[in-house]
Amino acid sequence: MFIIRTAILWIIISTMINAYLMTFPVPVLRKRGYPANYLIKRNNRIDIQNNRECAGFSTAYVLRHFGIEADGEALYSSFPSKMRSGNVYPKGIRTVLRKKGLKTSYFKGTIDTLKYEVSKGTPVIVFIKVHKDFNNLHFVPVVGYDEQFVYLSESLRQLVNCNDANNSYNRKVTIKEFKKLWNVKNIYMPLYSNTYITVEPLS
C-alpha cells in the first residue's frame, strides 16, 4: 500500500511540475475531415542546427512561414524555459511565438488530429524522440503527410533523408515509425506523448 501511495504521489507531483514548466497539453480525440494527402508548399528555408537548438530552429521555421525573418541559432541564444542541459520546455516555444504576435495551442492528440492541423496550412511543431530507442527529445515542424508518411522540416543533419526541390521538407518518416518516435512517455513525463504545438495569427 505504501508503494502504491508513493507512486501516486510521485505522479501527481511530476504532473504539477510539468504543467508549470511545460504547460499542460489539451487532449483532442475527435476525428475531423482532412485531405488524404497534404503538403505545405510555402517557400521557406530549412536551417541545420549544431547542438541542442531544435527549439530555436523549429520556432524560427514557423516564424519564417508567417513572414517574420528569424535565425534559429540567434533565437535559441536568448530562449526562455531552457534547462541547464540546453534543452527547452515546450513552454519556451510558446512564449517566443506569443511575443512575436502569434497565438499558440498545445495539444495531445492522434495521427488524425495532427493531420487535421497540418491540413490548415501551417507547420505544426511536434515533440518527439530523436531515436525510438533513446529518450533524447526533439522539436521539429511537420509540414505534410500522406497515407504512408509524415513529412518534416528537419534541423538535425543526421536525420535528413530526402531532398525536396521545393524545400518544403527534408525528412520523411513512415507513420508507424513516427508513432514510436512520438511516444515520449516516461516516469518523469507520463502525459506528454503525442503532443504538438499549433500556431496561428492573433487576429
pLDDT at 25: 84
pLDDT at 30: 77
pLDDT at 10 over 50: no
Which tens digits make up the pLDDT trace of 104-127? 999 999 999 999 999 999 999 999
Q: Is 14 exposed, middle or buried (0-12, 13-18, 19+ CB in 10 A)?
A: middle
Cell, residue 39: 503538403
In sequence order, the 6+-apart residues with CB closer than 8 A to the CB of 102 are: 62, 63, 66, 199, 200, 201, 202
Q: What is the mean pLDDT of residues 177-193?
A: 80
Provide the whole-model pTM. 0.88
Which tens digits make up the pLDDT trace of 50-80? 989 999 999 999 999 999 999 999 999 999 8
User: For 61, phi and psi rounded to 5 degrees?
Assistant: -60, -45
Average of per-residue pLDDT values in the chain = 87
Three-class DSSP category at 17: helix
Q: Could you report how far apart the first and last alpha carbons of the chain are, in Å?
A: 52
Share of the chain above pLDDT 90, in %: 64
- The DSSP annotation for 87-111 comes to -B-HHHHHHHHHHTTEEEEEEE--H
